[in-house]
Amino acid sequence: MLKFILSTSVLVFGAIGLACAQQPTTESDPYSECVEQTIQEQQLPGINNSVVQICADQTKQCYEKQIVALLDQIRAQSAEWKQPERYQAILKSQRLWKAYVDQECDNAGQYIGSPMYAYCPMQHYAERVAQLQQYI
């Protein structure tokens, strides 16, 4: 099983990397693209927990990179506007948001099922990207 997950991860990484290079739009959903590609490449009859785990983790990593880039933009913008307190307030909310997501997704994993340990954070990270974009 570990060999399957590792081989699938390598194959899917390239697809997610390409999807992550672009900002997600309503037409482009990196998670769904990853799932479809993985099912086809592995010739699976449908989605399974391994596919959810791999695609959700890789899509979350994409969103994490976008969050870091947005925070960097906010930092630069706050410095330019001579408002360091703005950036500090957003950093504080980022730390609180992360703690909330960790706990909320732990709850989801325990009470809904194990795929939620990966899928839940991915959903929250996508939402956070949209929130931070509003601050730019």
Residue 36 belongs to what domain range? 2-133
pTM over 0.75: yes
Q: H-helix or E-strand containing 62?
A: helix 49-80
Residues 62 and 129: their CA atoms lie apart, in Å, by 10
Residues 22 and 33: their CA atoms lie apart, in Å, by 13
pLDDT mean across residues, the chain? 87
Counted domains in the chain: 1
Average pLDDT of 65-86? 97
